[in-house]
Structure 1
Amino acid sequence: MSLLDEKQRGAILRALHDLRRAAPARPGEQYGAPGNGSSLLLSLVTVGLVFALWYVATNVGWIKPLFLPSPQAVWMQLMDVASDGFADASLLSHIGWSAFRVFGAFVLAACTAIPVGIMMGVNRVARGVLDPLVEFYRPLPPLAYLPLVVIWMGIGEGSKVLLIYLAMFAPLALSARAGVKSVAIEQIHAAYSMGASRGQVLRHVIMPAALPEILTGMRIAIGFGWTTLVAAEMVAATAGLGFMVLTASKFMATDVVIMGILVIGAMALLFDLGMRWLERRLVPWKGKA
């Protein structure tokens, strides 16, 4: 790369950096909205109230244990499954298999759907070809095409991962496309006026501007993955949190069902918190007007 290209690249990056630094404070900060500490306190109070209501309703006898077991019963069941296992598999094995299926599908979806979404955002031909296909299958529930997935892939791990992958693909692709379309045209024109090439504009202008939408799409997609997990593990699974919930429901073991749901929710929450931390590091300007 020539010295002139290096100067152009540096000028582009400095201009974009100055534009982001010049952005005003978050709307919530401008209008005196509660800060992160207040939001965290409200969240903890809400969770505490929900658990308190659950404890009172189940221990006083408002709800029968068959419909909603007490928190103590769910905790004891968690300890039993952690020590003795469930359905010939340990709790760690159930968690490991579910995590492998969900996060394996997530990595595959991120590696394919994000480039597809970027192509749809920057290229009219790609958008015209791919957009109808993605929009057609996006609203379909995974159970609708589960039989086809089994016919195509059999009853092995491939069908489970593929089903979860398909549930994640559309939100990731559409978020990437939306991120590309949200780029201010003034920034693109400014980069071209400084002599930037299309590759430099894509790398230094479009991708950083689209990254907030892409990260949000990742959070949404992983949620779709966890909701599809139970359907995926209906297919000849012998371990997994979804398999555990389904098996327990057949025997009316509500405490195991609730315990499995809470474990799935806890894993999804931890991932979401990790994604929020990543957003604060990668896109600190997100949310600034």
Structure 2
Amino acid sequence: MTSTSTASSASPATRPPEAGAGKVPAPRRRRALSRARRAALPFGSLLLFLAGWQLLAASGTWSQTLVPPPAKVWDAFVDVSTTHDGVRGYNGTYLVEHLGISLRRIAFGAGIGIAAGVVFGLLMGTVGWLRSLFEPWITFLRTLPPLAYFSLLIIWLGINEEPKITLLAVAAFPPVAVSTTTAVAAVPSSLVEAARALGASRWDVVKDVVVPSALPETLTGVRLAVGVAYSSLVAAELVNGLPGIGGMVKDAANYNNTPVVLVGIIAIGVSGLVIDGLLLRLERAVVPWRGRV
């Protein structure tokens, strides 16, 4: 009797832990492992790329002027990012300043092209004759490489900022216009008819039915447009592009300064990845239902 009452009155602290206590729940552990795997794969691929690059540079197959080792590119990155031997960055401008000026050009140019593409896409998707009128011209413009009309823009607009901004706007316009037009045309007619049956005006149908339905594809077009604008950046800065990251790449290439060229290319690529990631987060926040319905 005494032993029974003693066992029953034992404090919780002295009781043996229950099975599974203190363990991380299986779903949470799986999510943590999945996140770690997603982070490790890009890092591992980067290490493999750097190792292959170093082996290629050390093999002597090409001279270091053509394929400089990673350490030499790092030294060039430090040089263009700081003041060295009395020289401020590259051509008197730091790398971050070159990049900032180019990003400002992309923001203005691509912003104009994206806004125009959304407006034209909505109009062409809702008005049939406008689509028949403008779609061949947009397709024609989409197939042209930027260098094909950049010289014409210089003749028309000079060598200052105007041709650069215009080139980036023209390059960003077609992807958004095409994706928005396709998305608007694909809006289910049953939704439009239901909204009209409930007394919605034409503007209400566009605002409350067409735009939300087309928004996911439109945002995909925006991501494509920003990518096209980035791919056109060096072309936009071929003439009078300094300061600017594309102008820096072009100027360094004139002097066979391969490390600086690679620094500029890496800066463009990394900044493009960051901006695309931000746009992807924006897309998930604005259209969280995408892929779930």
2:75 is matched with 76
Which of these residues, 109, 122, 140, is aligned with residue 126 of structure 2? 122
Deviation at 1:60, TM superposition (A): 4.8
**SS of the counterpart of 1:138?**
helix
- TM-score, normalising length from structure 2? 0.82
Report the counterpart of residue 262 of structure 1 in structure 2.
266
In structure 1, what is the equivalent of residue 43 of structure 2?
A: 44
Give the length in aligned residue pairs: 256
Pick one of 164, 184, 187 that aligns with 2:188.
184
Range that drifts further, 248-257 or 179-188: 179-188
2:224 aligned partner, one-letter code: I
Q: Distance in 2 between matches of 1:155 and 1:62?
A: 40
Q: 1:76 corresponds to which letter in structure 2?
A: D
Partner of 2:21: none
Read off the aligned partner of 1:221 and give its amino acid letter: A
Letter in 2 for 1:120: M
| Equivalent in the alignment of 2:210 | 206
Query: Can you list the C-alpha shifts for 1:148-176, whole angstroms capped at 9, x where unaligned?
Result: 10111111100111011111111111111
Structure 2: gaps of 5 or more residues: 1-32, 84-88
Question: CA distance change for structure 1 residues 169 and 37 in 2, over 3 Å: closer, same or farther?
Answer: farther
Flag the 1:35–1:131 CA change in 2: closer, same or farther, 3 A: farther
CA distance in 1, matches of 2:72, 2:114: 39
For residues 77 and 96 of structure 2, the distance between their equivalents in structure 1, rounded to whole angstroms, comes to 12
Report % sequence identity.
Answer: 36
Equivalent position SS for 2:242: coil
Q: How does 1:221-260 map to 2 (within 5 A)?
A: 221-260=225-264
Per the TM alignment, residue 230 of structure 1 is displaced from its structure 2 partner at its CA by: 0.7
TM-aligned CA distance change 1:146 to 1:132, over 3 Å: same
Label 1:44 to 1:192 Cα distance change in 2 as closer, same or farther (>3 A).
Answer: farther
> What's the C-alpha RMSD, in Å, of the aligned pairs?
1.9
Q: Secondary structure at the match of 2:82?
A: helix
Structure 1 segments unaligned to the other structure (5+ residues): 1-33
1:40: Cα distance to partner?
4.4
- Higher RCO structure (Cα 8 Å, ≥6 apart): 1
Aligned counterpart, 1:109: 113
- How far did residue 194 of structure 1 move? 2.4
- CA, structure 1 residues 37+276, in 2 after alignment: closer, same or farther (shift >3 Å)? farther
Matches of 1:273 and 1:44 in 2, distance apart? 17
TM-score w.r.t. length of structure 1:
0.83
